[in-house]
Amino acid sequence: MADDLGHRATRHAVVIGGSLAGLLAARVLAEHAEKVTVVERDRYPEGPVARPGVPQGRHLHVLIAGGQQALDELLPGFMKELGELGAPKVGVPEDMVQWQNGKWYLRNSATAHFYTGPRPQLEWLVRQRVLADPRIELVEGHETVGLTGDSSRVRGVRLRERGAGGEKETRVLDADLVVDASGRSTKAADWLAGIGAEAPHEETLDTGLAYATRVYRAPEEDPHSDARGYYIVPNPEQVYGGVVLPLGDGRHLVTLSGLRGDEPPTEEGAFEDYAKRLPHPVVSDWLSRAEPESPVYGFRKTANIRRRYDRPGRRPAGFLATGDALCAFNPIYGQGMAVAALSAVALRRALADPKRTPTTRLVQRALFDASKQAWDISAGADKKMPGATGDAVRPGPMDKAVGWYLGRVQDRAPGDPAVGAPFRAALTLTAPLTVLFSPAVAKAVLFGPVAETPAEPPLHRGA
């Protein structure tokens, strides 16, 4: 049987995992397969509320511009619907008080926007849109315990009702294509070994970053500031982070972060005391004016992990990985949801490419490429953090020169819009990293002065 994932070869596709990456992959596969089955360990809640299968769902999530564009391409009109649900839209740098590398950003006109509503709200809307397609079926409350087939081709998945332990027998769901979207804790290595195939090499980079989050209520109209959010960005010299962003309806999500051995606490009073470690009291001052509305939730699994399915190995046709099962990032950079959507766009384009047969290897390579820029940003920054561990920490041959140049970019971005705008475009995945090396930007970075920036937090626009 030819390794062809096109229209004729794929009658039934199975997607393991029903989070964003899995649902959006199913949306694309429904354009090619007669039937798509999404297998989800949880049972979905009725509305936009947190669920156990998304342990980070109570924490801060932003949908950056690259993800917005991808979602509108996959689900036309999606961003309009999200806005109608009340998800706040925050412009940068205009709406934010941001400190990075010892400098406060000028709050000039916004060149990028991101949405800051609750993660369950966005996921619920995706779920409603995707599962309305009659070609897509859902199997809830079941976990994948293995694959069927052999090292040359996957033929399906083995499922077991969740919570059944060893008491219930597994059942087989035959498939022409299986997509692993089960997240950063995927068991794909075991599944592949079970059919005599080879697991991919895992690249890791772990700073030991941990964060804690709490919901607060504060008036939308604050006489002390017209900012919609605050962001203290950690760096190798200053390892504490803090962010305040609106959820809507007067609620805000506050996240504090630190590195291993000095993690933010989940006790109520200690959480607010920890904010005093930030290099400026602006976040702590905001907390003193706000009322807590939730417990403090902690999160520790923040390592960058990339599984190299793009490299040669004894792996079967008809098996793909996407989302965090392929490439998981330190969540502090806010890329995960955007990369899930961009990966689904890459899947669509690879399957529909009229010039190339969509083999497993070619499609997997397209998915890998869709996550590469986000990895370069996340892993590139985390390499410099003290105590970082993992095989991806080792510097590459160009890291020193590129690091020197990007350091100059970051020095100029807070005060020079000619550098700040392309810098944000790259970080929000709407432009390639090469935009930072364009002639105009390179001239400003290499020869331009470091513009003056505010000495204190610019609490009002134009300050």
**What's the CA gap between 226 and 220, in Å, rounded?**
9
CATH number of this structure's domain 12-61+122-204+302-380:
3.50.50.60
Highest CATH level, class, for 209-299: alpha beta
Peptide bond into 93 cis (omega under 30): yes
Backbone torsions φ then ψ of 252, nearest 5 degrees: -135, 150
Can you spell out the DSSP letters for 61-85? Answer: --B-HHHHHHHHHHSTTHHHHHHHT
DSSP 8-state class, residue 391: G
Q: By the 8 A CB rule, do 305 and 162 touch? A: no
Q: Do domains 12-61+122-204+302-380 and 209-299 have the same CATH topology?
A: no
Residue with tokens 């009322």: 291
- Tally DSSP H helices, then E strands, for the chain: 12, 21
- Burial 390-422, CB ≥16 within 10 A → b, else e: bebbeeeeeeeebeeebebbbbbbbbbbbbbbb
Alpha helices by DSSP H, 297-415: 336-352, 360-382, 399-412
Read off the pTM: 0.95
Q: By the 8 A CB rule, do 153 and 316 touch? A: yes
CA atoms within 13 A on the CB side of 58: 18
Nearest to 63 by CA among 139, 123, 22: 123
Nearest to 53 by CA among 133, 123, 136: 123
Per domain, the residue ranges of the chain are: 12-61+122-204+302-380, 209-299, 396-447
**What's the CA gap between 423 and 434, in Å, rounded?**
10
**What's the CA gap between 180 and 189, in Å, rounded?**
11
Our CA dihedral for 119, 120, 124, 130, rounded to 10 degrees, sits at 50
Print pLDDT tens along the chain (463 aa). Answer: 346 675 445 799 999 999 999 999 999 999 999 999 999 999 998 888 877 767 676 788 899 999 999 999 999 999 999 999 999 999 999 999 999 999 999 999 999 999 999 999 999 999 999 999 999 999 999 999 999 999 999 999 999 998 766 567 899 999 999 999 999 999 999 999 999 999 999 999 999 999 999 999 987 778 889 999 999 999 999 999 999 999 998 999 999 999 999 999 999 889 999 999 999 999 999 999 999 999 999 999 899 999 999 999 999 999 999 999 999 999 989 999 999 999 999 999 999 999 899 999 999 999 999 999 999 999 999 999 999 999 999 888 888 899 999 999 999 999 999 999 999 999 999 999 999 999 999 999 999 999 999 999 999 997 6
Our CA dihedral for 272, 274, 275, 278, rounded to 10 degrees, sits at 170
C-alpha angle 402-107-217 in degrees, rounded to nearest 5: 110
Q: Rounded to a whole number, what is the largest CA-CA distance in the chain?
A: 70
